[in-house]
Amino acid sequence: MDQMTEVMLENGMKVHLKEIHTAPIISHWVWYRVGSRYETPGKTGISHWVEHMQFKGTPLFPAGILDRAISRDGGVWNAFTYMDWTTFFETMPASKIDLALKLESDRMVNSRYDPEEVASERTVVISEREGSENEPLFRLEEAVESAAFETHPYRNEVIGSIADLNAIQRDDLYNHYRKYYNPSNAVLAIAGDFDTSSILERIRAVYGKLVGSPMAALELPSEPSLSSEKHIEVHGPGETTFLTLVYRAPAASDPAFFVMSVLDSLLTGPSSLNMVGGGGISNKTSRLYRALIEKELAISVSGGLQATHDPYLYSITITGRPDIEPEKVFARIDEEIGRLQDTKVTQEEIDRAVKQARALFAYGSENITNQGFWLGYTEMFDTYTWFSEYVKRLQAVTPEMVQQAAQTILNRAARVRGIYLPEGAES
């Protein structure tokens, strides 16, 4: 059975189910529409911190029991916070899936938020933030995002700022949890070896009894377009120079996103959209690999395109060579982008780029955990149809569409150019 079943519980919780009988495994995901996009100044990082607190236990499932219970039953579990969402998952032997159902339904409403645990986790999250600050690409990304957006919360790192992490209090966390960890704000996605009617009964027994509070969709004002090229320079630890060019990218629900996916594959090699991994594709046939790596102007090049609710960013990131001036690298990239803008690519090149993007998409969809991921992930920015029609929409992209996207999206006058220089290097 390859069809997805969608059910809406009376409390407003959306349920997506997909039977896959290739192995006796079930992957269970709960998605909440909350992440850094929903945060306000002074509270950045609160969604990620709440995710941490959800592992601190409930009266029914005290903290020390959770890991042991999942491991004892042969399962794995984890959680992620991003800009548009927070998700928790368990992949378990099919016969043990009731533990995941009970655990997630319980901590949706009964997490403790003990003040001592809040204080302890503050130290953990701040330490995580400080560790990230030692990473050159984190520093460069944070500076570039801040320059690329004036008001939209996408300008803030998911982990938040040190000032906000020091200021947030226990009641701030608990109120954030009570508002957003709400059946009406959640999508339950389950893929694997089960009978749909049977598991629906179990879902209704544990999730159906929870009280939902309808939530209005978050409407954010449109971010004005970048009116000129911005130059950002960051200095920090390390020995390597990194370069980046960042452009505003379409929201995932925009038809232009699929054109941008093909352009990304053609220019730098396809970006993986799956947050839980699954295969990889060489980018050695991409235009910038041939122009930069084969010509020994850079060590590596990659593109970054993410499926987001609102227009976000498309990035080109380069690991520099110590003997090559950054300006020479930027000039070579602009030459390649100019070729895309001035001359239509061939259908043969489009077909190869689509084939690579499609292959990476397939690798990120092949196991049961990946299938559970996609069942819920697409609801955070569109609908499941986005996933089921992804390949068809890539194949509809034409050379004319790619050229137009290169002209409008990869606009030199509306981008951020960033350089990370190791301390001691010359500007």
Q: Sketch the domain layout of the chain as residue ranges.
A: 4-206, 230-422
Please report the pLDDT score of residue 359 as a whole number. Answer: 86
Tokens 């992957």 -> residue: 27
Beta bridge partners of 25: 93
Q: Where are the beta strands (DSSP E) in 82-239?
A: 86-93, 186-192, 230-236
| Contact call for residues 273 and 364 (beta carbons, < 8 A) | yes
Distance between CA atoms of 23 and 382, rounded to whole angstroms?
A: 29
Give me the pLDDT at residue 1, please. 41
Beta strands in 363-414 (DSSP E): none
Angle at 230 between CA 400 and CA 304, to 5 degrees: 50
Closest Cα to residue 329, out of 358, 300, 360, 369? Answer: 300
- Strand, helix or coil at 296? coil
pLDDT at 382: 97
Question: Per residue in 157-209, pLDDT tens?
Answer: 999 999 999 999 999 999 999 999 999 999 999 999 999 999 999 999 999 99
User: Do 230-422 and 4-206 have the same topology in CATH?
Assistant: yes
d(CA 174, CA 98): 27
User: Could you tell me where the beta strands, DSSP code E, fall in 59-193?
Assistant: 76-81, 86-93, 186-192
Q: Which CATH number fits domain 230-422: 3.30.830.10, 3.90.1150.10, 3.50.50.60, 3.90.1640.10?
A: 3.30.830.10
Domain range 4-206, CATH architecture:
2-Layer Sandwich (3.30)
- The pLDDT score that the predictor gives to residue 425 is 58
Per-residue CA distances from 322 to 237, 317, 325, 422 (Å): 15, 16, 8, 11
Burial of residue 366 (number of CB atoms within 10 Å: 0-12, 13-18, 19+): exposed
> Which residue stretches of the chain have pLDDT < 70?
1-2, 277-281, 424-427
